[in-house]
Structures are given as C-alpha cells and as structure tokens.
C-alpha cells in the first residue's frame, strides 16, 4: 500500500490556491493508487514550534542532564521523521511568503533535517537517507514570474533541502500570478492543474519489437 504525505503550509484554509492545487494532486494520486493512504500534516492547523535549545542539544548529540525529561521537540521530531520515512511520495503545498517559505514550514524543516535520522556524515560528506522517496512541490506566488523572481528562496530552497536528505526525484508545479486579477489567476491555476494532470497521464506502452523493426525499416527507406 502506497502512502502520500501531504504537507500544507498556507496560513489560509479558505481561498488558498496552494491547497486547491494540492487537492487536485491528491485526488489524482488517490485515483491512481486505490487503497493508498494519505497522511495530512497541516502546518497552519498544527504548527510546529521553533526549535528550542534543549531539542537542539539532543540533535547535536550533547548529553542530557540526568533526570531531565526528553524535550518535547525531540518527540515531535521523531514523529515527523517517522511520517517522512513511511511515505512513498511527499506533496508540499507551499506559498511564497516574503520571497521564501512560510515560517511554519521552515520550523518543520528544522525538526526533520536531523543527523543520524535523515542524513549522515560519511568521509566528511553529507549523505541523505530518504532516497526511496519522491516529492511534488506545489509552489504558489502572488506575483507574475519575471526576472525579479530571481530572488526566489522558495523553490530552490525546497529543492536543496530535499536533496540534502536524499530526495532528488522532485516535480515542481509552480503557479504564479495568484494575487493578480481573477482572469489571470484563473488562467494560471488552469495551467498548473493541466501540469498536474500530465503527471498522472498514462504512459504509452513500450513499442513491441515488431513495431520497432517496422519503424526502423520505414525510417531507413
């Protein structure tokens, strides 16, 4: 049974374009994976707190004071990492806020990028441990993409941090113009939805040997 882990980062529950596109992806994924499991981590409804010093100390391998209860951040990190490990595919629904990520998503990242759990250091090099997983980033932005969007700390950051923990198979559905007038927004949303549809379009079967031979003979005639 396949598992999709969906991570929502928009502060909005209603009228959110990233959630709308993620709903579309989730519906296509569910249709393609009957019996599949969808786990939703909604960072607006259940925000991940910022890292605290006690949690960081454990992450850095410092000895805990005797009799001290394990920090709550470590238990949360364990749960979030277990969710990531159990997922076959990750779906991030992520708006651009001030050129980067909504802060609850950054706090989430700070809890899951953890030495010995999602990456290790081998011969002085970082090695990600989640290579079995793939991801789709639904990235919405208010502005129309333009050269000024070179200041993009949203998609490149997410790609980099996923690669850091071993996830290289990443598809990006970028929907810009979400804060423009309705006609523009609707057109960009339709374009992003069509891109999602293409991700799930059936792949044509490989040509048979006979078909390949016929094609080859036709090309060389």
Give the binding site for ligand FMN (CB under 6 A). 10, 12, 16-19, 95-99, 140-143, 178-179
Residue number, 150 or 201, with CB nearest to ligand FMN: 150
The residues, ordered by sequence, that sit 6+ positions from 45 with a Cβ below 8 Å of its Cβ are: 13
* E runs forming strands in the chain: 3-8, 37-42, 89-95, 119-122, 125-128, 134-140, 170-175
Among residues 23 and 83, whose Cβ is nearest to ligand FMN? 23
Instruction: Tell the smallest beta-carbon distance from residue 84 to ligand FMN (Å).
Output: 22
Q: How far is the CB of 112 from ligand FMN (least distance, A)?
A: 21
Distance CA(33)–CA(59), nearest Å, equals 36
User: If phi over 0 gives left and psi between -120 and 50 gives alpha, with beta otherwise, what is residue 61?
Assistant: left
Torsion sign across C-alpha atoms 15, 199, 26, 153:
negative
Closest to ligand FMN by CB, 55 vs 140, is 140
Nearer to ligand FMN, 36 or 142 (CB): 142
Mode of pairing for the β-strands spanning 119-122 and 37-42? unpaired
Q: Supply the minimum distance, in Å, between the C-beta of residue 148 and ligand FMN.
A: 9
CA distance 80 to 76: 6
Q: How far is the CB of 23 from ligand FMN (least distance, A)?
A: 11
Instruction: Give the nearer residue to ligand FMN in terms of CB position, either 78 or 152.
Output: 152
Closest distance of CB 198 from ligand FMN, Å: 21
Minimum gap (Å) between residue 179 Cβ and ligand FMN: 4
Q: Please check whether residue 81 is in contact with residue 114, taking contact to mean a CB–CB distance below 8 angstroms.
A: yes
Q: 6 or 19: whose CB is closer to ligand FMN?
A: 19
Long-range contacts of 185-188 (CB under 8 A, 24+ apart): 185/17
How far apart are the C-alpha atoms of 137 and 28, rounded to whole Å? 15
């Amino acid at each position: 049974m396949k598992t999709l882990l969906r991570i929502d980062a928009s502060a909005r529950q209603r009228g959110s374009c990233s959630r709308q596109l993620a709903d579309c992806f989730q519906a296509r994924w569910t249709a393609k994976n009957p019996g599949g499991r969808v786990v939703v981590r909604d960072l607006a409804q259940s925000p991940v707190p910022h890292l605290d010093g006690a949690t960081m100390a454990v992450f850095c391998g410092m000895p805990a004071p005797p009799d001290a209860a394990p920090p709550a951040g470590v238990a949360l990190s364990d749960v979030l990492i277990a969710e990531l490990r159990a997922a076959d595919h990750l779906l991030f629904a992520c708006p651009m806020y001030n050129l980067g990520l909504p802060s609850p998503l950054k706090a989430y990242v700070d809890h899951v990028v953890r030495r010995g759990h999602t990456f290790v250091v081998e011969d002085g090099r970082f090695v990600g441990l989640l290579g079995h997983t793939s991801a789709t980033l639904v990235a919405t932005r208010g502005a129309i993409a333009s050269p000024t969007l070179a200041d993009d700390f949203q998609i490149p950051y997410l790609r980099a941090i996923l690669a850091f923990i071993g996830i290289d198979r990443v598809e990006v559905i970028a929907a810009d113009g979400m804060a423009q007038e309705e006609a523009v927004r609707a057109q960009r949303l339709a374009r992003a939805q069509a891109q999602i549809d293409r991700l799930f379009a059936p792949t044509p079967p490989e040509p048979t040997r006979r078909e390949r031979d016929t094609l080859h003979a036709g090309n060389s005639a």
